[in-house]
A and B are shown apart, each in its own frame.
Chain A
C-alpha cells in the first residue's frame, strides 16, 4: 500500500467517522445524565430527511441544518416526556422513536416529493461542500506533509470540523463547568443532586436537548454532506454503531473520538478489500469487517478487554421522595 492510498483511506475514515462521532457525543450527554438513548438512529434519520427536504425546497443548506436539528429536537422532547416526565421505560421509548422516524420520513417524503420516499438530489448551495483550508493548494506538492494537509486535513465540509471541535468542547463542558459536574452527578446519583437543590428534571431535559442538537447535526451531515439527498433508511444502523462506540469509549469524550475514528476506518476498509489483502496478505470477508464494531462492543462490554462501567443511575426514572 502506498502513501497516497493510506491518505485516501484515512480521509474516507474521517468522513465516515463524523456522523458516528456526533451521534456518539449526543449519546454521551444523554447517558451521562442517566437517560439511556437507543433512539439515536431515529433522530439522525429524521434530521437527515428534514435537512435534505428543507435544503432542497429553499436551496439553503443552512436552513436545512436548522430544520434537521429541529426535527431531532422534537423527537428528543418526545423521549424526554416519555422517560423523564412520565417515567416510562427509556429503552422502549427509544425503540418507538426509531420506528417513528423510519416510517414518518418515508411517508412525508412520498407526500412532499413523490419520488418513492426520497428527496430530490441536492446541488450547489443546498449541500455542504468541502472547504479548502488556506494554503492547501500551495502545499499539495510538498512531499509527505503536502498530501497529508491538502488531502486529509483540508477539503472536508464545515460539519466535519464542527464535529471535531465538539470533542474538546464536550470535555470542557462536562469536566470544567458547574453544569457538567451536575450533569454527571445526575447520572450517578440523582438523589444527591436533588438534595443540593438542583432540578434533576431540568438537568435531564437539558442533556436530552443537547443530545437532540448533536443528532440533528449528524443527520444533516448524512444527507447534505456525505450524500446528496435523503434516501429511505439512510442512517443504516449508524445510531447503533455510535452507541457501540459510546460503550467502547467508556462514556468519555476523547475516547469517543478514537472509537469513532476506528469504526470509521472499518467502514472505509469495507469498501477497499484490495487494501486489506495487500497489507495482511489474506482475504478478509467484508461481512466480518461490518460486524467488527458490534463484536468488539460485546467483548468490551463483557469486560474481557478493559471494563466499561455505565453511569450508575442510567435507565432509572427519578422519583422524588415526599
Chain B
C-alpha cells in the first residue's frame, strides 16, 4: 500500500522541492544584489536587497512572458528541453540514466546538417521529415553503442555516456574545423542551409489565423513536433505492450526477466528511443534557429534534460510543463543578464538546485511527508474506532 495519496506523490512532493529550489535561488540573488550607496542602515540595506530580488523576478517574468518576442524565445528553449527531457525520461523508465543527451543532440545536429546540405529538398515539410529522421538516427546510434556496451560488456552506461559526450564534442570539432567548413571561412561552422529547408517560425504559422507573433523570435514548427513527441511517448509508455515491458524492467529487473522480458531488448530499445529524441532536438536549434551547424550548438540543453525529466517525474505531461518552466528560466535569465549585473550563470545555479531537490534530495522532502500522512491515517483510524 502506498503511504501517500497519489495527488501528494504527483503534485505535493515536486511542488515542495521546487519551492525549496526557488527559495534558495532567491537567497542567492539576495546575496549578490546591487545595493545603492544611499542605503546605510541595516534595515535599508535589507530592504534594498529585497527590492532587488522582487525586481529581478519581475524582470524575468516580463522578459520571458511579457511579449510575443519573449514567448518566442521561451518556447524555442522549451522545445529543446522537451526533446532532451523526454530522452532522459524514457531512459529513467527503464532505470537507465542517460547522461549523454548532450552528445546525442550534437550528433543529431550533424545528421541535420548532412541532410540539409547534401540533399536537394523541394519543400520544408519534406526536409523536416528527412532531417528529423537523420537527426534521430544519428542520436540513436550514439546512444545505442553505450547501451550495447552495458548489456553485452557490462560497462556502466553513465560513465560510457559521459565519455561519449566528450568524444562527440571532439568529433564535431574535427569535422567542423577540418571538413565541413566552407572554403575561405574562418568560422568553425557549416555553410548556411538552402532556403527550401528553412522552417516556418511561429510568426509564419500564426499569421494566417490573424495572430500577430514576433517576427524575430526563433520558436518554430519544431515546437509542434516536440508536443507530438510528448503525446507519442505517453502512448508508448502507458498504452503499449513495449511501454509496459520497459516500465516493468525499470521496476524490477529480476521480475521482468522472470516474466520473459529480455534485458538486452529493453535496454537497447529504451536507449535508442532516448538517443533518437535527444538527437531530434537538432531540428529546432540547428535547422529551425541557426540554419547551419555551429560549434557547441547544443549549449548544454542535453544536461537540462536531466533537470526537466526529474522535475516532470518522467511523465510526458510533467516533462512538457517542466520544459516550459525551464524555457521561461532561460529566457528570463538572459533578460536578467542583459539588464542587471547578474550573470547568465544564475540559470545554471537554479538548474543545479532543481536537480538537487527533485532528484538527489528527493527523500529529504518525501520522508517527513510520508510520516505526516502516516500519522494522519493513524489518527483517522483511531477516530473511527
Contacts and interface: CB of A to CB of B under 8 A. Distances in A.
Given A88-B360, A88-B363, A107-B32, A288 B170 contact: yes
A97 B348 CA distance: 11
B352 A103 contact: yes
B52 interface: no
Interface in B322-355: 341-343, 345-353, 355
Contact of A100 (B97, B352, B367): B352
A96 B167 contact: no
A237 B303 contact: no
A96 B355 contact: yes
Contacts of B22: none
A91 B97 contact: yes
B149 A298 contact: yes
Nearest to B148: A302
B191 interface: no
A297 B360 CA distance: 26
Contact of B349 (A78, A100, A240): A100
Interface string A293-305: 0110110011110
B352 A82 contact: no
Contacts of A295: 163, 167
Contact of B154 (A78, A83, A237, A303): A303
Residue from B28, B163, B178, B363 having most chain A Cβ neighbours under 10 A: B163
Interface string A256-293: 00000000000000000000000000000101101100
A228 B125 CA distance: 53
Residue from A96, A106, A244 having most chain B Cβ neighbours under 10 A: A96
Nearest to B350: A103
A243 B161 CA distance: 13
Contacts, number: 150
B46 interface: no
A36 B166 CA distance: 20
Interface residues of B, number: 48
Interface string B284-309: 00000000000000000001001000
Nearest to A117: B343
B166 A240 contact: yes
A95 B99 contact: yes
B16 interface: no
B355 A86 contact: no
A99 interface: yes
A96 B335 CA distance: 24
B77 interface: no
Interface string B69-103: 00000000000000000000000000001010000
Contact of B355 (A99, A102, A106, A107): A99
A104 B349 contact: yes
A298 B170 contact: no
Interface in B162-184: 162-164, 166-167, 170-171, 173-174, 177-178
B156 A310 contact: yes
Interface in A86-136: 86-93, 95-100, 102-104, 106-108, 110-111, 114, 117
Given A86-B363, A106-B345, A96 B166 contact: no
Interface residues of A, number: 48
Interface in A238-264: 240, 243-244, 247
Contact of B167 (A294, A302, A304): A294
Given A88-B359, A99-B352, A303-B154, A108 B32 contact: yes
Given A88-B362, A103-B348, A104-B349, A302 B356 contact: no
Given A95-B306, A291-B171, A295-B167, A302 B149 contact: yes
B164 A298 contact: yes
B349 A302 contact: no
B216 interface: no
A301 B359 contact: no
Nearest to B163: A294
A81 B310 CA distance: 19
B158 interface: yes
A-B interface, 10 closest residue pairs, ranked by CB to CB distance from nearest: A103-B348, A99-B352, A103-B349, A93-B360, A291-B170, A301-B155, A100-B352, A92-B359, A96-B356, A82-B360
13 contacts: A82-B356, A90-B360, A92-B360, A100-B356, A102-B352, A104-B28, A107-B349, A244-B159, A285-B174, A287-B173, A294-B164, A298-B149, A302-B153
Interface of A: 38, 78, 81-83, 86-93, 95-100, 102-104, 106-108, 110-111, 114, 117, 237, 240, 243-244, 247, 285, 287-288, 290-291, 294-295, 297-298, 301-304, 310
Given A92-B306, A95-B359, A96-B352, 14 more contacts: A88-B360, A93-B360, A95-B303, A102-B352, A103-B347, A111-B32, A117-B343, A117-B345, A290-B170, A298-B163, A301-B153, A302-B153, A302-B154, A310-B156
